Structure formats: C-alpha cells, structure tokens
Amino acid sequence: MYFIFFSFFAGFAALFSYIFFKPLPENITDRRILQLFEPIFRFLYFYPVKLMNFFHFYTLHVRYSRLFFRFISWLPSKISALCKKCRVYNELFDSIDVKVYVPDNLKRHQGAIFYIHGGGYVLFDADSFDSITRRLCLECGVVVVSVNYRRAPEHEFLTSLEDCQKALKFFLREAENKYNVDSTNVLVMGDSAGGAMATVLARKFKSLKAQILVYPWTQAVDFLTPSFKYANQFTKGTSLLDTEMMAIWTLMYTNHDIKLWPKLSSNCHHNLAYCQKLLINHNYPKNAAKNDEIYNFSDDLIRKLFHPDFSPLFSPQNSLTGCPETLIFTCEYDVLKDDGILYKNRLEKEGVKVQHVHFDRGFHGMLNFCNQLNLSNEMMNKAVNFAELMFSKV
C-alpha cells in the first residue's frame, strides 16, 4: 500500500514538474532554491491572475493578489518579529496610517528612515514589508516609519503619493518632540513604485538627508526599453515581474480602462519620438504609434503617464538639482533595470551625487527575501551601510 501511495505521489510530482517547469536564467541568484519554489508560486498566483486578466476579472485580480501576498508574507513577518525585537506602534500621521519602529537604543545621530513600500501602487501594505523595516530599524539603530498609503484602483491618481507626502510632512514637523529624531537627519527609502514615490518626495523635500531607491519604477511611458524586452525574452512564462502586470498596474493607477493593457504594453498608446530622444535609442516595433482608437481617449492618459509625480524620469529640467545624495539598486533580471539606470544618469546630469549598485544576478523583489537569500542580504547590508554613513555626516 505504501509503495503504491509513494509511486502515485512521485509520479504526480514528476508530472507537475514536467508540465510546469520553466528554466530560470542560469546566472540568477540562488537558482536552485528559486527553481524549486517558482513553479509553486506560478501555480498558486501567476496562473490564476493571468486567467482573471484574460476574462477581465480585474477586481477579483486585485483582491486575490492582496490576499495571496498578505498570506505568504505573514509567516516571515512573524518570525522576524520574534527574532528582531523593537517597539512597533500603529499611528496616524495627519490621518495617514503608518507603522513606526523604534529601537530600544537610538543612536546618537538621531536619524530616521521614511520607508515607502512597493507593489505597483496596487498591492502590499506596511505589514508585508515588516521584515525589511524591522531590520532597518535595528541595524541602523534609528526610527523607521512605514506608510500604509491608499492604493489603486480604489483611489484617484496620485492619492498614494499624496498620502506619503502628508505623512512625511507631519513626521518632519513632529519628529523631534515625539520620537527624539533630528528632522534634518531623515532619509527616504522605497522599492519599485515606492522608490518612485520616495524620489518624488526627495525632489519636493530637498532638506532630506539622502534617498535609497531599490529597483525604482521611474517611468510609465516606454514599455519596450531593452530591459523590458530582455525580460520578455528570458523570463517569459515565469512568475518574475513582466510587462503585462506593469501595464495593468499603470492603467489601474491612472484610472483608465484596464482592458487596454495589451496596447499600452506594446507602446501603441502614443507616438514615442519624444520619449525615444530622452530615453534610450532602441528599435521600436512598427506599431509604436498612435492609432485612432487610442488617440480618441488617451489625452488624459498621456498627461498622467508623463506626470513627473508618476514618472520622475520626466521631471522638469533642473528640478532635480539639489536633491539629496542617492543610492540606487538595479537588478539584471528586472523589467525596471533601465528605469534605475536612466534615472541615475538624469540625477548625475543635474549634479546629484549618486551611488549605483547593480546586481548582475539579482531579480525584482529580491529585497523581500533579505533574511533568506544571500544576495538579498547583501543588498540590505549595502543599504544599511549607506544609511549609517549618511546619518553620520554633519
């Protein structure tokens, strides 16, 4: 009986692996571990969401995605809370929900990190990033504020950023009295969409000490940059971040018809001549131009896509001058690799001091595994070292 059961289980596992196995890039970090868990993740999340997209069940897509990521982040957050103890408070900063992490012993520089989580403006919350923010708090020895901003598609365009801006303004005003934090020693940090919002805040609040941008999403105009095309070629069909999800989240955030994502992801949403000059010289497909259907309703979309508070890469000339010192992380296996590199170039062109660290074996979202994967741990260590260096400067 046991032999029959074992044979059935082994046969099922072999069939599952055969059907769902897709090789990850040879050079990707911790490939054996990722290759084991990626098919499971794809089966439980990637395929269901793709099916929902196919049938235009976008509301269900959002609900399922949020529930799924809350579930898988629950255990790591609980383990982190047990192993890395600090005081955590749920607060309201000018009506904005935030989590505040306070170490038992604040360092003498009395700095703070204002963290904005990623998730395409649609997914995740502060709890999902607890293992990251808790570790930043303890290893840097500073107060960390993590913002629960309102998300798309339920809320209007730029609501997420406005929430972060209100919370930061409140924190800078109250930091010294309430948390013994020097308001001139506050660093802003964010990943992906959170990285975009972080750098917009750094542009608006140039008194900030520094900014750390983790694979930032700095433009929503060009979905055919080399890194997008590279990802479509080498990671297509896997659960790594892809063009489809980026286009869908863009339309959710801009409050436009989500069914248009195939046209947006193919750069059919507008004429890219201007974008091509500003970004990268690369060969666009023949369909990368306006067509009558899109042109009739996309004026508002184009305005939003180029809005500097959504696409900071397109910030007005000289508006980035005076921004604080910056650390940018990019990853090889990431559709947003070029976003980070282009933004680095833009900052340097306007006189901002930038440190750029590229992980040639990294992938989008790897910071969330800072307690599990070696390269992710290295990324976290570099962020901590940079933050400590910035805090120590007078």
What residues are annotated to the active site?
Answer: 192, 334, 364
- Asked if residue 176 lies in contact with residue 183, where contact means CB atoms within 8 angstroms, the answer is yes
Kindly report the length of the chain. Answer: 394
Q: Give the strands of the sheet with 354-363, arranged side by side.
A: 87-93, 96-102, 143-147, 112-116, 186-191, 210-214, 325-333, 354-363
The DSSP annotation for 217-251 comes to: ---SS-S-SHHHHHHHHHSTTSSS--HHHHHHHHH
Separation CA 231–CA 362 (nearest Å): 13
Q: Which residues contact 20 (CB under 8 A, 6 or more apart)?
A: 39, 42, 43
Separation CA 375–CA 363 (nearest Å): 10
List C-alpha distances in Å: 14 to 10, 11, 32, 182, 250. 6, 5, 17, 58, 38
For residue 394, how far is the Cα from the chain centroid?
30
Instruction: Work out whether strand 96-102 and strand 143-147 pair parallel, antiparallel, or are unpaired.
Output: antiparallel
Pair of tokens at residue 154: 């339920």
For residue 11, how far is the Cα from the chain centroid?
39
